[in-house]
A and B are shown apart, each in its own frame.
Chain A
Amino acid sequence: MDSLQQRSSTVQEPPGAVPAYRPTPPPAWQPRTDPAPLLPDTEPLRVLGTDAVADADPALLLRLYAELIRGRRYNTQATALTKQGRLAVYPSTHGQEACEIAAALALEERDWLFPSYRDTLAAVARGLDPVQALTLLRGDWHTGYDPHEHRIAPLSTPLATQLPHAVGLAHAARLKGDDVVALAMVGDGGTSEGDFHEALNFAAVWQAPVVFLVQNNGFAISVPLAKQTAAPSLAHKAVGYGMPGRLVDGNDAIAVHQVLTEAVARARRGGGPTLVEAITYRIDAHTNADDATRYRAAGEVETWRAHDPILILERELTERGLLDEDGRRAAAEAAETMAAELRERMNADPVLNPMDLFSHVYAEQTTQLREQAAQLRAELEAEGEA
């Protein structure tokens, strides 16, 4: 009642006695960080064909070349294996070999890779047995390797769900005092998923030593980037989380290697996460089951063929006198040997143990699973006797 009376009394006072209302900023607000240093450059970083290439280590250039040739051959061989029915499906990285390989090579042995289903090449570049990398796609088991042995998480089929894992692992490593960095790979389509957002947000809040690499290959199966996002670039998304965004020419192996190496080093010294967008192009269809002619023009593909990662690296190496016909032949022969061995090993039928179905559901089998395992064992014995 008192306040009401007070209020009515103020109404009686002449205008001007009450201080004029002046808008003020909300009391607690202040910018958390200066966005300018987080913003990506307007052009993707290029090194090949520019003066900056002079600083590149010739040994690294040659190593990347050999790996790219091997990677291209891996793509064609795996695609051929789908036609022979040896692989259920293969998502090719033809055209994206530079991102895959240069990124993987930016990691130290103790670091971890969190690949998506398309990132078999990154896993192989990290030393994974080419056959083990294809187990998921062949269909004999979900993950063909012990992730701890190579520090490669299982290839993730659901989009972007592996990104929070990378954050958690990197965070755990830091809590334990290990200077381990996690590299998490995702495609342009995956950036629309909620897990992409949550992973980047967690990583930035925790300052986790993670590098997120978006391979923007233009399409999420058939949906072009323009229908995926309205952001100026995918790298711009970093600013909203408070981490730097970097744009790089994903077909320039040296540029990718440089940007990733810087981001990994930054994470390792406690500088927190980085989001890297590599601009690249998927020359092949999404998988062997996809018809890319339904959603993109042949002319567009040809433009990108002229910007092929192997072509532009080879041109650079040749111009600088680092690569000659013998060098090219040696790289091609090494790739052919890898392909022949891969073909031979993939043509051998995998030995499967149906009882494995029950072996790894729980640490200890439940009564229910023991009963079901007994049922299957009896069925197998009956089959054997028949």
Chain B
Amino acid sequence: MTTATTGTAAAKAGANAGKAKPATMAQALQRAMRDAMAEDPTVHVMGEDVGTLGGVFRVTDGLAKEFGEDRCTDTPLAEAGILGAAVGMAMYGLRPVVEMQFDAFAYPAFEQLISHVAKMRNRTRGAMPMPIVIRVPYGGGIGGVEHHSDSSEAYYMATPGLHVVTPATVEDAYGLLRAAIASDDPVVFLEPKRLYWSKSDWSPEAPAPVEPIGKAVVRRQGTGATLITYGPSVPVCLEAAEAAQAEGWDLEVVDLRSLVPFDDETVCASVRRTGRAVVVHESTGFGGPGAEIAARVTERCFHHLEAPVLRVAGFDIPYPPPMLERHHLPGVDRVLDAVARLQWEAGS
């Protein structure tokens, strides 16, 4: 798996070789929480194993030691209880950052998420905002056994009141998590777990920008077609775009970063330029995020499209056992096949 660095970042990494040790996405997330906790005493981190152990992925490493167990709390093992307690804490003016240890372990908390976290502002006409961040390590590619690799973003996207955010780079992991913690609305913060160890020359000590939620970014410019993607599929698409270059296909890659709110403007501007689009994600395709994105693009850019909007998604199956997951996850070849199906040569 390639790292999530962009071409520019990789070049900078070369220039900085031998200087600072590259930072990982896990470290960037950890620093985002540390900086937020240092600046704002109402920020509380909580979840199973987040304290003494520092989280099973070490993303909360050191926070309990630095801020005390009242600010970074090992909770009982109960996702509905964790999120339900966070609701009450938010009611009393705290800003809980909740860790759900793995994607599929978040499901017991769905009722709290959907019936209360997402709706409380609305139920109370704005009197009770829910500034809660729900961090969910998600997606496959790390050889996890079942219930450890789900891509559950479509469930969250379908729930009004939630923001759904997923970084693909080390820098965005920091910038977007800071924005999520600062948000007065609940944010489901999906962390692509196979990118936790991806690196960048971003220094954990250097000032880092907070990225606004709701803005997609063009990771690679191109003219022939747009790959619309997010999270763990961003590096796949960047690699596919490099490979496509050899075939003479100039691909643009849009990293959504935020699924809700959705950045129609950036996506549609790109598709209008290129006239062709493929949505790439590892979540299942049927009723998945790509269905929504393809429909939006078609509704808005129909007259600019040279071909139907295609989807490259995970198969419509329960997440497979780890020894078969490479057949399920959309890889570079599958993306390139879709690009070819866009009927590159007019009339061919």
Contacts and interface: CB of A to CB of B under 8 A. Distances in A.
Interface of A: 141-143, 146-148, 153-154, 158, 161, 163-173, 175-176, 182, 194-195, 198-199, 201-202, 205, 356, 359-363, 366-368
A182 B91 CA distance: 12
B37 to A, nearest CB: 14
B318 to A, nearest CB: 23
Contact of B76 (A182, A205, A362, A368): A205
B121 A363 contact: yes
Contacts of B108: 194
B228 to A, nearest CB: 17
A355 to B, nearest CB: 12
Contacts, number: 135
Give the one of B70, B76, B88 with max A CB within 10 A: B88
B147 interface: no
B75 interface: yes
Interface in B153-212: 160-161, 163, 183-185
Nearest to B91: A169
B126 interface: yes
B260 A170 contact: no
Nearest to B265: A367
Contact of A143 (B70, B81, B88, B125): B125
Contact of B125 (A172, A194, A359): A359
Interface string B298-319: 0000000000000000000000
- Interface size for chain B: under 10, 10 to 19, 20 to 34, or 35 or more residues? 35 or more
A168 B85 contact: yes
Given A169-B91, A361-B160, A199 B84 contact: yes
Interface stretch (B12-20, B111-119, B136-144, B278-286): B111-119
Contacts of A182: 88
7 contacts: A147-B128, A164-B81, A165-B84, A168-B86, A175-B70, A182-B88, A198-B80
B84 A167 contact: yes
Given A164-B80, A173-B92, A361-B161, 10 more contacts: A142-B123, A143-B127, A146-B125, A154-B120, A167-B84, A171-B88, A172-B94, A202-B85, A362-B163, A363-B121
Interface in B76-99: 76, 78, 80-81, 83-94, 96
B128 A362 contact: no
A161 B116 contact: yes
User: Mostly helix, strand, loop or mixed at chain A's interface?
Assistant: helix
B122 interface: yes
A360 B121 contact: yes
B5 to A, nearest CB: 30
Contacts of A202: 75-76, 78, 81, 85
Given A360-B125, A361-B121, A161 B92 contact: no
Interface of B: 70, 75-76, 78, 80-81, 83-94, 96, 108, 111-112, 115-116, 119-129, 160-161, 163, 183-185, 214, 260-262, 264-265
A142 to B, nearest CB: 4
Contacts of B214: 366
B88 A147 contact: no
B124 to A, nearest CB: 5
A211 to B, nearest CB: 14
Give the one of B85, B185, B214 with max A CB within 10 A: B85
Contacts of B85: 164-165, 167-168, 171, 202
B88 A164 contact: yes
Contacts of B81: 164, 167, 195, 198-199, 201-202
B161 A362 contact: yes
Contact of A147 (B86, B91, B185, B264): B91
Contacts of B87: 164-165, 168
Given A153-B91, A362-B185, A366-B260, A195 B84 contact: yes
A167 B88 contact: yes
Contacts of B84: 161, 163-165, 167-168, 195, 198-199
A168 B98 CA distance: 13
B125 A165 contact: no
B301 to A, nearest CB: 16
Contacts of A173: 92
